Amino acid sequence: MDSIIEGFGKAFLLILHLDAELLGIIFLSLKISGIALLISTACGLLVGTLVSLKRFHGRSLIITLLNSFMGLPPVVVGLFVYLLLSRSGPLGFMHLLYTPSAMIIAQTILAFPIVASLCHSAIISIDPIIGQAAMALGATPYEKTIITIKEARYGILSAIIAGLGRVMAEVGAILIVGGNIAGYTRVMTTTIALETDKGNFELALALGIILLSISLIINALLHIIQRKGAIKTNR
């Protein structure tokens, strides 16, 4: 128990005297997770909207796959991306293995099904009368789609929050494809794993506290926005 308290004490000291290395790790984590979340949100919203509003052959299969892939094991995704990007893999010529780009690809693959599937749920929950009302007011099919997405905005925000949770907490996949190279692909979660292995609990704890704080702040902000849309009846 004493070592845990001592660990927390040292961790807080480390946070107070944020050094360049620690800051670098935090910024790299935010950059990689942010880009991955941005890409998975753009693709997820597009696919989620398509499967919600369009009827086409294979639609049910896509929905089933998206739902199934929500629980993709990160290490399996890491292995899959590793095989794709390794020198002998089909995308080996791009020389992306052990780079931040490889980590972004892995995180995007993990977050995309979550964002797409939850966007789909949010959009199909909007009463079709909304789209009909827009059409009756002169909207084109494109404008009808936009108003439907706009009405689903709070649900879509939940999808993004879930995607954020996935990318921020991820360690298995990015460890495999990023290689945990100091100053280049070392992020908060992989550092925590490494420092724990080394028995350097102060740094691991400090990063854990920072990771939790960032996650809490972002989620709290998104939750505040979401609460604004709490009124939900359809007339």
Which residues lie near another protein (CB under 8 A)?
A: 127, 129-140, 143, 147, 150-151, 229, 231-235
Q: Residue 49: which of 139, 125, 145 has the closest Cα?
A: 145
Minimum CB distance to another protein smaller for 88 or for 234? 234
- Minimum distance between the CB of residue 227 and another protein, rounded to whole angstroms? 13
Q: 221, 208, 181, 218: which is closest to 37 by C-alpha?
A: 218
Is the CB of 59 or the CB of 150 nearer to another protein?
150
Question: What is the smallest separation between the CB atom of 158 and another protein, expressed in angstroms?
Answer: 15
Please check whether residue 107 is in contact with residue 33, taking contact to mean a CB–CB distance below 8 angstroms. Answer: yes
Alpha helices in 127-198 (DSSP H): 128-136, 141-151, 153-169, 172-178, 188-198
CB of 218 to another protein, least distance (A): 24
From the CB of 154, what's the least distance to another protein, in Å?
8
Q: How far apart are CA 230 and CA 228, in angstroms?
A: 6
Token pair for residue 24?
Answer: 């670098």
- Minimum Å gap between C-beta 56 and another protein is 20
Residue placing its CB nearer to another protein in the complex, 10 or 153: 153
| Residue closer to another protein, measured from CB, 149 or 174 | 149
Q: Which is nearer to another protein, 20 or 136 (CB)?
A: 136
Pick the closer one to another protein by CB: 150 or 198. Answer: 150
Measured from the Cβ of residue 190, the count of other Cβ atoms closer than 10 Å reads 23
Report CA torsion sign: 136, 128, 155, 27. Answer: negative
- Whether residue 203 contacts residue 19, with contact meaning beta carbons closer than 8 Å, is answered with no
In the complex, the smallest distance separating the C-beta of residue 174 from another protein, rounded to whole angstroms, is 37
Q: Match 């979660």 to its residue by tokens.
A: 189
